[in-house]
Amino acid sequence: MERTSMSEAAPTEMTEVRGRGRPKSRVLEASWDVLARTALLGCACFSILITALIIGILAYETSRFLAEVSVVDFLTGLEWNPLLGEEKHFGIWPLIAGTLLVTLVAAIFALPIGLVTAIFLSEYAPARLRSVLKPVLEVLAGIPTVVYGFFAVIVITPSLQWLGKLVSGEAVFGPYSAAAAGIAVGIMILPIVTSLSEDAIRAVPKGLRDGAFALGSTRFDASAKVVVPAALSGIMASYLLAITRAVGETMIVALAAGGLAQLTILPWEQVQTMTAYMVQIFLGDAPATGVEFKSSFAVAGVLFLMTFLLTFTGYRILARFREEYE
């Protein structure tokens, strides 16, 4: 009886196996393959089209602006005053200087702290502590930038004013300053530096650490002289991405940096960045048909070129310092 039941069950199992192993139609597979390739190609072409439209619009509007303002005055002028007075000045350098000053303050604040934090999370922090700190840092990346702007106005600026009076005995910092905006931007880009740098450091093979320990290195020596140099390309990528993000920041600088476009290297003075000027124009401070409105597109074009150069430089640095391990 057992033999009979087993022989009866065998054809049923064989039928199920054959049903599961039945090959798909080649026509159907080819159709899905063509559909997937078409969808991927469409997405790629859409991205290229959007980028081309952005470049085209910026180029067209910039050409309209340069038809009314000299290219030499725009690129070499040292005064930016398009909204006040009978004589208007469109020298781009005060806006570039304000943007670079805020970015410099943010970089000085965020890059060293971010790298040290990444080294601690990767090389020193216990697993439980890392599981808490890493998500907390990544939450900072999701906070709206307008919140950072209010934080700069309400907390950072009064703290700098108090510190300035304590050190010099005078009111060095005013209600707006490049330092306050730069520190807030630095806090904003801190998660970018920390997260990407920590990922790059953790990607370094364990064998390099073991080799350093075998030669008598301390954990600090192994981290500073072996691990960080091996992860240098990823760390540089995080730096450049964070700096590019700081250059294009809008709300923080619009709230905390001020609105005075001037050539200065003093962080306690107010400045106007390129993005803050564009916000000012699009809030209605200039007619949509005037040269002031057109100037915002020229400023946006210069900002686009700056970020493009930073990105291109980043790719070259990555290619120069890239390390590959098996």
**What is the distance between the alpha carbons of residues 123 and 236, in angstroms, rounded to a whole number?**
19
Residue 322 has a pLDDT of: 67
Residue among 225, 231, 224 at smallest CA distance from 204 = 231
Using CA atoms, how far residue 234 sits from 121, 134, 202, in Å, is 16, 18, 11
Matching residue, tokens 């364990």:
206
Q: Residue 80: phi, psi to the nearest 5? A: -120, 105
Per-residue burial over 284-317, b if 16 or more Cβ lie within 10 Å, else e, is eebeeeebbbbbbbbbbbbbbebeeebeeebeeb
- H/E stretch holding 302 reads helix 291-321
Residue 202 has a pLDDT of: 87
Residue 52 has a pLDDT of: 92
Strands (E), the chain: 80-81, 89-90
Residue 2 has a pLDDT of: 46
Using CA atoms, how far residue 233 sits from 200, 279, 283, 295, in Å, is 8, 35, 41, 38
CB distance 152 to 180 below 8 Å: yes
Residue among 317, 298, 233, 318 at smallest CA distance from 80 = 298
**What is the distance between the alpha carbons of residues 108 and 140, in angstroms, rounded to a whole number?**
19
Residue 31 has a pLDDT of: 82
Report CA dihedral (125, 126, 132, 134) to the nearest 10 degrees.
40
Residue 155 has a pLDDT of: 92
Question: Tokens for 225?
Answer: 């002289």
Matching residue, tokens 């700098």:
160
pLDDT tens, residue order, the chain (326 aa): 444 444 454 455 545 545 555 555 777 777 888 888 999 999 999 999 998 999 998 899 888 888 888 888 888 888 888 766 667 778 899 999 999 999 999 999 999 999 999 999 888 888 888 888 888 887 888 888 899 999 999 999 999 989 888 887 787 888 899 999 999 999 999 999 998 898 888 888 888 888 888 888 888 888 888 888 888 888 888 898 899 999 988 889 989 888 888 888 988 989 999 998 888 888 776 677 778 888 888 999 999 998 888 888 877 877 776 665 55
Residue 206 has a pLDDT of: 84
Residue 1 has a pLDDT of: 44
Report CA dihedral (155, 159, 161, 165) to the nearest 10 degrees.
160
Residue 20 has a pLDDT of: 54
